[in-house]
């Protein structure tokens, strides 16, 4: 018999590494291309990366519009924005679905999120002295004014939407732009303030034009009509439609006291608006029966979801019009009039959690249906018989996310053959640790399975505690002013590292008793300092190459490495400083976890089986916790088992980190490389996916490099 032939796809040879690297790159390119085809609706939608600078600070975003659009077109436009602790990457799906239906869509990161900067003062004067992210438009009013400069946008059909904190930003921008005075109120005030007319409290509810015709002379009436035309033009170009996801509209929904004709009266905000909330978003789901909701709807009965209502502030009543999916705005006169008068309201829920709002086909369907009706458009004017609307339930963005996710996993896998190639070079070869064959059999089966079972339990406890911890919205930690959700990964890793210390102590004493510490020696913790530094340099090179691959697919395909809330995206220059701070924090934790998992390698089974068991064991506790939470929520429990809003990414990242940990150890025979590259990856995904937690001035580095 001849010698066993070496497999071609192996990390043990340079040629095998090159083939695996080529396959990884091919997967990245192919799936990013497919994702881009979905984003652009097969080339029918143009997507442009844009930066808006309204007040000395840029906002980063994407502008979608139909291919072939000219300045003679008049298209409805919608602004889409994200919530706290994320960027516009997570709302790309909602933007994509509107764009497929012919809308102009501006999907952007608010001031301070992602690579958007902070101005010294925003639209309401907030900034370096008094910034509070929960009570500011965050750049959305500036975004509305940007849309007003586009000649192909119908200025009378601009909509706005936001999720979570984004719904607060969007609603505040709308309240500022639209105000609480009806158009009749505005004209009553013109008669009162410009022409000096006085009214009774009953007269201010009457038609202003009729009052003007009765009480003004011909010259005054002509002047009144001129003012009316000017006011009407401004009024009609205010935000026409607001859709709020994952929130209860505290900045816009309550009635406000305004002055009309010298009298104080209460009015609703003068725009159409809808609210979409998850059934399991327990903090907001009470909106349907909140006291402020009942007051603004002029009713004492809880709202019926998916039912259009028309609000009458003068008559102090609301009228139920019908289900959103049963009504046709081109045929149902009452709904059309309510939308024209900016008095249409709707409330919708779906069986999902807070963070699922922007990753839900059901919510996306409600979202596009809402804007279809309030802006009268879907692949053409709804009033045009030739228009063939795309059904609201035809939602495909999830597939684009899947393809982006596959590209992301390929990028992460790409680091393994890259490391395999580099570590074979003369410079990095000393980073490979020594190996004592006395440990060839690895740990015994009993110890192996006990370790795995306990690891699952510790992992379950770690993710439960991590998800359960809350931090105050303010104040922030000046040394690390990133959105507070950054702490989830370090807390999880700290608990896992604590368990690892106990395991390592047990293994140490057991090894001493057997007079065999070769398992510890094979971890190669005590390699030379210069080789540790080389290993860290190698991990930095790997991260740089991963980042360059991101730059490439963004440039060629306008795509990201993303699936749901797990994503690796571009960062401002100063963010790299925070990356190093977080990486240094989690590095020793990953070193301990890596020592334990790589100490317990089985040598009596195939390597791929051992790796698979290691990855599943490391992840099973996290997956079980999420599964239990899902079961509890869907069983009708009054609250969640644990809050997963900021930790869904760990469902993907925990197994990925476990896999890289094992493969990097196999390549280098040392726990240093896996800990180093994983710490940088965790820091990159954490920092790039969030943004600032409070006001941080623009940096010299960002301004100098323009990044």
pLDDT digits (tens, 9 = 90+) for 299-351: 998 899 999 999 999 999 999 999 999 999 999 999 999 999 999 999 999 99
Q: Return the pLDDT at 472.
A: 52
What are the backbone angles phi and psi of residue 424, rounded to the nearest 5°?
-85, -5
Q: What is the pLDDT of residues 586-639, one digit of tens each?
A: 999 999 999 999 988 888 888 999 999 999 999 999 999 999 999 999 998 888
Confidence of residue 564 (pLDDT cuts 50, 70, 90): very high
Full set of structural domains in the chain with CATH: 44-179+238-395 (3.40.50.1820), 431-531+560-705 (no CATH)
Residue with tokens 């007051």: 295
Determine the pLDDT at residue 438: 47
Q: How far apart are the first and last CA of the chain?
A: 61
Q: With 50 as the cut, is the pLDDT of residue 3 above it?
A: no
Q: How many whole angstroms separate alpha carbon 71 and alpha carbon 65?
A: 12
Q: Which two structure tokens, joined as six digits, stand for 677?
A: 């590259």
Q: Token pair for residue 577?
A: 């400083």
Residue 69 DSSP SS3: coil
Q: Are strands 263-267 and 104-108 parallel, antiparallel or unpaired?
A: unpaired
* Helices and strands in the chain, H and E counts: 20, 14
- Measured CA to CA, the distance from residue 349 to residue 22 in angstroms comes to 46
Percent of the chain with pLDDT over 70: 96
566 near 706, Cβ under 8 Å? Answer: no
Three-class SS of 312-367? ECCCCEEEEEEECCCCCCCCCHHHHHHHHCCCEEEEEEECCCCHHHHHCHHHHHHH
Higher pLDDT, 370 or 577: 370
- The angle, 0 to 180 degrees and rounded to 10, between the axes of the packed helices 218-236 and 208-215 is 160
Total residue length of the chain = 707
Q: How far apart are CA 165 and CA 153, in angstroms?
A: 26
What b-and-e string marks burial along 197-229, b requiring 16 or more CB atoms within 10 Å of the CB?
bebeeebbbeebeebbeeebeeeebeebeebbe
**The Cα angle at residue 414 between residues 16 and 577, in degrees rounded to 5:** 140
Phi, psi values for residue 554, rounded to 5°: -70, -40
pLDDT band at 508 (very low <50, low <70, confident <90, very high): confident
Task: Report percent pLDDT > 90 for the chain.
Answer: 76
Which range is least confidently modeled, 1-15, 134-148, 233-247? Answer: 1-15
Q: What is the pLDDT of residues 137-165, one digit of tens each?
A: 999 999 999 999 999 999 999 999 999 99
The answer to whether 672 touches 524, Cβ cutoff 8 Å, is: yes
- pLDDT tens across 394-441, in order? 999 999 999 999 999 999 999 999 999 999 999 999 999 876 554 445
Instruction: Please choose, from the candidates 282, 275, 264, 325, the residue with its C-alpha nearest in 3D space to the C-alpha of residue 297.
Output: 275
Looking at residue 6, its pLDDT comes to 61
Give the C-alpha separation, 39 to 573, whole Å: 28
What does the pLDDT read at residue 697?
79
Of the candidate ranges 108-117, 388-397, 431-440, the one whose mean pLDDT is the lowest = 431-440
Q: How far apart are CA 140 and CA 233, in angstroms?
A: 22
Q: How far apart are CA 179 and CA 451, in angstroms?
A: 62
Note the pLDDT tens digit of each residue in 649-680. Answer: 999 999 999 999 999 999 999 999 999 999 99
For the cut 80, the answer to whether the pLDDT of residue 705 exceeds it is no
pLDDT tens digits for range 177-226? 999 999 999 999 999 999 999 999 999 999 999 999 999 999 999 999 99
Residue 354 has pLDDT above 80, yes or no: yes
- Answer yes or no: are the C-beta atoms of 61 and 107 closer than 8 Å: yes
Task: Read off the pTM.
Answer: 0.93
Judge whether 107 and 139 are in contact, CB under 8 Å. Answer: no
- Strand stretches in 102-198, DSSP E: 104-108, 153-163
Checking if the pLDDT of 475 tops 50, the result is no
Given a contact cutoff of 8 angstroms between Cβ atoms, the answer to whether 132 and 146 are in contact is no
Contact 659, 526 (CB under 8 A): no
Written in H, E and C, the secondary structure of 652-672 is HHHHHHHHHHHHHHHHHCCHH
Token digits of residue 395: 């939602």
pLDDT in tens, 29-65: 999 999 999 999 999 999 999 999 999 999 999 999 9
- Is a pLDDT exceeding 90 seen at residue 254? no
């Amino acid at each position: 018999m001849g010698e066993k032939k070496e497999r071609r796809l192996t990390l043990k040879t340079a040629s095998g590494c090159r083939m695996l690297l080529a396959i990884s790159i091919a997967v990245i390119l192919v799936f990013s291309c497919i994702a881009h085809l979905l984003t652009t609706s097969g080339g029918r939608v143009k997507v442009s990366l844009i930066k808006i600078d309204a007040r000395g600070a840029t906002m980063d975003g994407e502008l979608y519009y139909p291919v072939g659009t000219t300045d003679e077109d008049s298209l409805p436009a919608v602004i889409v924005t994200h919530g706290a602790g994320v960027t516009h990457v997570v709302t790309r799906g909602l933007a994509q679905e509107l764009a497929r239906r012919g809308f102009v869509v501006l999907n952007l990161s608010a001031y301070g999120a992602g690579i958007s900067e902070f101005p010294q003062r925003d639209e309401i004067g907030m900034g370096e002295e008094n910034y509070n992210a929960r009570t500011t438009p965050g750049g959305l009013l500036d975004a509305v004014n940007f849309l007003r400069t586009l000649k192909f946008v119908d200025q009378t059909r601009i909509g706005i939407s936001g999720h979570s904190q984004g719904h607060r930003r969007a609603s505040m921008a709308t309240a500022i732009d639209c105000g609480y005075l009806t158009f009749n109120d505005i004209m009553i005030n013109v008669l009162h303030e410009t022409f000096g007319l006085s009214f009774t409290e009953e007269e201010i509810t009457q038609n202003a034009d009729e009052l003007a015709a009765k009480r003004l002379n011909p010259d005054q009436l002509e002047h009144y009509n001129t003012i009316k035309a000017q006011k009407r033009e401004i009024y009609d170009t205010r935000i026409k439609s607001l859709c709020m996801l994952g929130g209860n509209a505290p900045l816009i929904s309550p009635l406000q006291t305004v002055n009309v004709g010298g009298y104080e009266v209460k009015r609703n905000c003068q725009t159409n608006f809808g609210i979409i909330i998850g059934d399991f978003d327990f903090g907001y789901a009470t909106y349907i029966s909140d006291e402020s909701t009942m007051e603004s709807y002029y009713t004492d009965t809880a709202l019926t979801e998916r039912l259009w209502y028309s609000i009458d502030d003068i008559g102090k009543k609301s009228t139920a019009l019908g289900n959103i999916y049963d009504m046709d705005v081109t045929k149902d006169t009452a709904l059309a009039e309510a939308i024209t008068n900016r008095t249409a309201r709707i409330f919708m829920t779906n069986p999902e959690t807070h963070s699922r709002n922007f990753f839900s086909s059901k919510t996306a369907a409600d979202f596009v249906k809402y804007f279809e009706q309030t802006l009268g458009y879907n692949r053409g004017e709804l009033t045009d018989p030739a228009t063939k609307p795309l059904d609201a339930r035809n939602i495909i963005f999830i597939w684009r996310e899947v393809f982006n996710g596959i590209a992301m996993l390929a990028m992460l896998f790409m680091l393994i053959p890259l490391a395999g190639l580099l570590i074979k070079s003369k410079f990095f070869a000393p980073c490979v640790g020594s190996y004592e064959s006395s440990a060839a059999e690895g740990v015994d089966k009993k110890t192996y399975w006990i370790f795995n079972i306990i690891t699952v339990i510790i992992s379950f406890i770690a993710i439960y505690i991590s998800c359960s911890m809350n931090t105050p919205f303010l104040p922030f930690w000046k040394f690390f002013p990133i959105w507070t959700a950054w702490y989830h990964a370090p807390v999880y890793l700290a608990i896992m590292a604590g368990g690892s210390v106990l395991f390592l102590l047990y293994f140490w004493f057991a090894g001493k008793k057997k007079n065999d510490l070769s398992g510890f020696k094979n971890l190669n913790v005590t390699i030379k300092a210069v080789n540790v530094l080389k290993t860290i340099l190698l991990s930095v090179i790997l991260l740089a190459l991963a980042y360059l691959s991101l730059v490439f697919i963004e440039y060629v395909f306008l795509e990201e490495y993303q699936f749901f809330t797990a994503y690796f995206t571009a960062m401002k220059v100063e963010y790299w400083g925070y990356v190093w701070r977080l990486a240094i924090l989690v590095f020793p934790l990953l070193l301990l976890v890596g020592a334990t998992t790589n100490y317990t390698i089985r040598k009596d089974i195939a390597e791929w089986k051992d790796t698979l068991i290691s990855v599943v064991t490391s992840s099973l506790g996290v997956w079980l916790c999420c599964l239990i939470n899902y079961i509890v929520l869907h069983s009708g429990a009054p609250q969640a088992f644990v809050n997963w809003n900021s930790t869904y990414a760990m469902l993907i990242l925990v197994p990925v980190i476990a896999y890289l940990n094992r493969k990097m150890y196999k390549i280098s025979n040392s726990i240093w490389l896996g800990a180093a590259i994983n710490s940088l990856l965790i820091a990159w995904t954490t920092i790039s996916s969030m943004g600032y937690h409070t006001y941080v001035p623009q940096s010299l580095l960002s301004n100098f490099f323009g990044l």
